[in-house]
Structure 1
Amino acid sequence: MSAVTTNPFISLHADDNIAVAARQVPAGTTLEIAGHSLTTNDTIDLGHKVAVTAIAKGQPVKKFGQTIGFASRDIPAGTWVHTHNVVIGELELDYACASDIPPDPAPITGRTFMGYRRPDGRAATRNYVGIISTVNCSASTSKYAAAQFDQALLEQYENVDGIIPLVHKAGCAMQYGGDDHYQLNRVLSGFAKHPNIGAYVIVGLGCETGPGSFLAEKTGLVQLQIPGQQPEELPLILNIQDVGGVRKTVERTVEVLKELLPEANKVRREPIPVSELILGCECGGSDGNSGVTANPALGIASDLLIAHGGTSILAETPEICGGEHTLTRRAATKEVGEKLIERVRWWEEYTAKFGVEINNNPSPGNKKGGLTTIYEKSLGAIAKGGRTALKAVYQYAEPVTEKGFVFMDSPGYDPASVTGMVAGGANVVVFTTGRGSCFGCKPVPSIKVATNTPMYERMVDDMDINAGKVLDGSTVEDVGAEIFEMIVATASGEKTKSEAQGIGDEEFCPWSIGPVL
């Protein structure tokens, strides 16, 4: 797909009755769109929609060839189409599981990236040492210990990217052995076991509901061994109450880290097949062009990675609402499709308990950028997943073992969603944004892709790729290839702009599903 630079609107599908503005179009502009001559009745901002034909009250509004809402009043051709004249309405979706399974892409072999090969065979793109807090009560202690290692000290270990305190607000006031407890365990163990974590220490308080001993026992954590010390079955766990308080625990944690750092530093980058990359796909701060430029371009990159034998994860269950039928059709089996539907139904029940609807999106910023309904947002978000078959559906933070395109259940909140994908094994993240989300996610690099040129130029210190070029005539395929090449380069050690600014310490955000007791 390519944009026509002489026309300020992009028509995405033959069945659409709207077009999307590639730049601001003044009222009174006369032009032809998809064979229809019209004059704009309103000023149409970048990313917003114009009615290509008259849309009668109650009739569906179509974008991407799909229904994104219904006209709440008669909408003449040339009129701005948005929240003032569109309601979400009810969709009747035919899931038709596994009815349209795409063939696997032609395999591409021989491509490698320069990564770290762990002794157990896992492939890493970065090499961090982690301090894992079991509970918020040990968060400050973990941060104080990490702060003892200034840049000059860390520069002695040129192959270590840094020390990260993985701190959060949970870990207690939950049902012991309940769903929330096990989900937090999946997150913490997923980060501890992540190939990008070369070594770690667990710091707890000592009386929390989610103790380090339970975490280690239930998830089989094993610590990097320090030469000269007796091997341990379980990782090193420091509880503030046992060690003798915050100050003593900080001192003890620092001692342990000083012993772990030389061992973690011994790795060297080496060629590793691109097939061992696991990509986490995220979008945040979306706009009306997210589904036109950056997201479909990321879908191209996702398909390229899968052709190389790799894995691509799509997440954010509340943000596939209204578009999930396009995924169930692509499910490799009926069971995979039904598992996705089950997750959507779970979210509908979950949100209803709190008097909230799953379709309470888009956010005010999304609407300002041109997104009108969750259906529109979802259809654009799903484009990140490319066009290959859906091979598996995973619970939040569950280890991802299937190759190809997969889905992980997660909330739409970006930090929580990415935390789940990283815990599941993602070793590179691509994050698309139209409004300008600033995001990093240590220990995994995050590539930022802008959906439009004005935002890219305004936030050039934060954006790695400008997919807004699609609005100026570049093809989605070309931008997708550019994203793929940056994925390989980033996996090989090239720093993203968020990494260059040190962003990523605060974005660790395990999703809590249960009540706080």
Structure 2
Amino acid sequence: MNNTVLLLDSLDNVGVALADLHASDLVEINRKTIHIQEFVPAKHKFAITDLKLGEDIFMYGTIVGEATEEIPCGHAITLKNIRHKTKSYQVQTGKYQWSPPDVSKWRDRTFLGYKRTDNQVGTSNIWLVFPMVFCENTNIKLLEEAFEKALGFSKSNPFEDQLKELISGWKGEKFTETVSQKSQTFRSKIFPNLDGIRFLTHSMGCGGTRQDAESLCALLAGYIHHPNVTGATVMSLGCQNAEVRILQEKLKGLGCDKPLVICDQQNEGTTEVLLEKAVKETFDQLVEANKIQREPAPLSKLVIGLECGGSDGFSGISANPTLGRVSDLLVALDGTAILSEFPELCGAEENLISRCKTPELADKFIHLMETYNDAAKRVGSGFDMNPSPGNIKDGLLTDAIKSCGAAKKGGSAPISDVLDYTEYIKTPGLNLLCTPGNDVESTTGLAGSGANIILFTTGLGTPTGNPICPVIKVSSNSKLVQKMPDLIDFNAGTIITGEETLEEAGDRLLELIIQVASGEVLTKAEEKKNYDFIPWKRGVSL
């Protein structure tokens, strides 16, 4: 791909600029020489033939927009001359034929994971602490400070020294630490087989709809049931909509019997009594959790979540197809992949419908898509308003352009199941999961549905992580890796520069996944403690 332009499909009537194109430049596409008529920034698109008013714009072999004015050949495609449009779709299943990739060299590979009694395998061993309602967030923070420091999970804050220098400059004298500040030493990990204690906070649990409270309980049950989680401490006020009883019912439905420490403030009395109980009983469980050790497990036990955020015009050409390659490899190995973000599948419906194994799955996918889009329209929005200013600036002008590139994360495997938000995976293979395009709400949902590794592509950069699931950040371009090396784990920009083929990049990414899953490599998000958790609130506040 070492060139300045690219045609993604023979049906396309627009090309992609891999580097800045200037007026009078000559480029060749499909043996046709095109005179560039105006500046086309890298990642953006240009007409490769004269386009008439109202004519459909094709990328990835499908409709991604329509011309709002005549666009002469060689002119840039912009928001001034196109608008969002998608191809209509019909339910047609049963005819899709898939040729899986050769996985012979991966068949006997393993990773070192934590085997659970329910046959799931974790890539981490984490104890979870969370509130059933936002009223308990302050108590969660108190517990977090106590456990992080005492058990050696705290890290020094590099900005603390900067702040001390600022205080010294302001006071005109050397900063003097208090006794409590001097005592903040950081110990080595007390429990070597425990990868961490993660403390969640949120703004839900009461004051909203009963449906949102039940959805929160289902999500939290998915987090407890998750293979990376060994058990949980649950902080409850006692009177909220998100009752502990509902959480326990959801756990029973999942067949989950992991240890729980349940602390109810209105039952226990004072905050001191409540937190003393939480500390004592949680510590006892950590002693037991530390007895679990990593063991070899087949790659079929990997469940990868497929996510993108801060996308650019190269995401659908390099990073997302690389994830698609990995997804196909794991599905061929009897593993599981989960493709999320339904607003970013708008325009790719026909391809996904054709890959559904049954008409029922196709119907469920269409129902979830249309119900979600209609709900957005009722509040004056819609899927067509998904692209962010950053997306648009870097070449993703319409939701259909963004979506057709985003769908590449799902590779080409048949779709074995379609899940609504908080539904837990039950079928190996490629799953579709209804989540928002919002990065953190989507990654939160992926973990809640059982992903034990999340692959996250980005062209602009993002620090997003997850509290229980390692998030591997995959860059679509090499410039981002140079600019934000502290955020990026893997560079797929080598595909754009022609240094690697898609297959080579995908194989290299799978090797990194095995290392991360085995605890041999820490992701950048984990290093920075980017433990982001935002449940999707579908209802209204009451």
Q: TM-score, normalised by structure 1?
A: 0.93
Amino acid corresponding to residue 287 of structure 1 in structure 2? D
Q: How many angstroms apart in 1 are the aligned matches of 2:497 and 2:275? A: 54
Which amino acid in the other structure matches residue 354 of structure 1? V
Segments of structure 2 that go 5 or more residues without pairing to the other structure are: 153-188
Most deviating of 34-43 and 396-405: 34-43
Q: Secondary structure at the match of 2:138?
A: helix
| Residue 72 (structure 1) aligns with | 68
Structure 1 residue aligned with 2:21, among 21, 25, 31? 25
Q: Is the 8 A contact 1:136 1:168 kept in 2?
A: yes
Q: Aligned pair 1:136/2:111, yes or no?
A: no
Is the 1:397–1:422 Cα contact (8 Å) retained in structure 2? no
Point out where structure 1 has 5 or more consecutive residues left out of the alignment: 226-234
Amino acid at match of 2:196: G
Provide the C-alpha distance between the structure 1 equivalents of 2:488 and 2:405, rounded to a whole number of angstroms. 20
Where does residue 330 of structure 1 map in the other structure?
355
Q: Give RMSD over aligned pairs.
A: 1.7
1:209 to 2:236 alignment: no
How far residue 340 of structure 1 moved from its aligned partner, in angstroms, is 0.7
Is contact 1:105–1:388 with CA below 8 Å preserved after alignment?
no
- 3-state SS in 2 of match to 1:512: coil
- The amino acid across from 1:208 in the alignment is Q
1:501 matched residue in structure 2: 528
Aligned to 1:188: 220
Deviation at 1:31, TM superposition (A): 2.2
List 4+ stretches of structure 1 deviating above 4 A. Answer: 103-108, 221-225
Shift of 1:247: 3.9
2:43 match: 47
Q: Paired residue for 2:118?
A: 120
What is the letter of the counterpart of residue 194 of structure 1?
A: H
Give the SS at the match of 2:485: coil
**Counterpart residue type for residue 143 of structure 1:** K
State which of 476, 491, 494 in structure 1 corresponds to 2:517. 491
Mapped contact 2:221–2:250 kept (Cα < 8 A): no
Counterpart of 2:108 in structure 1 is 110
Q: Which amino acid aligns with 1:500?
A: E
Q: Is the 8 A contact 1:104 1:389 kept in 2?
A: no
1:105 Cα deviation (Å)? 5.5
Q: Say which SS state the counterpart of residue 37 (structure 1) adopts.
A: strand
SS across alignment from 2:278: helix
Q: Residue type of the partner of 2:19?
A: R
Distance 1:37 1:218, change over 3 A: closer
Deviations 1:378-407 (A, max 9, x none): 110110000010111011121101011110
Which residue does the alignment assign to 1:408?
433
Partner of 1:161: 195
Match of 1:231 in 2: none
Give the Cα–Cα distance (whole angstroms) in 2 for the partners of residues 436 and 467 of structure 1: 13
SS in 1 for 2:383: coil
1:272-321: per-residue Cα shift (whole Å, max 9, x none)? 11101111000011111111000011100100111111000001111111
Asked whether the equivalents of residues 281 and 314 of structure 1 are also in contact (C-alpha less than 8 Å), the reply is yes
Equivalent position SS for 1:198: strand
Tell me, in whole angstroms, the C-alpha distance in 2 between the residues paired with 1:119 and 1:65.
46
TM-score of the superposed pair, with normalisation by structure 2: 0.89
Counterpart-to-counterpart distance in 2, 1:57 and 1:279: 43
Q: CA offset at residue 481 of structure 1?
A: 1.1
Structure 1 SS opposite 2:297: strand
Q: Is the 8 A contact 1:145 1:251 kept in 2?
A: no
Aligned residues: 500
**Residue type of the partner of 2:113?**
G
What letter is aligned with 1:156? I
Which sits farther off after the overlay, 38-47 or 157-166? Answer: 38-47
Aligned with 1:236: secondary structure? strand
- The answer (yes or no) to whether the contact 2:64–2:86 under 8 Å persists in 1 is no
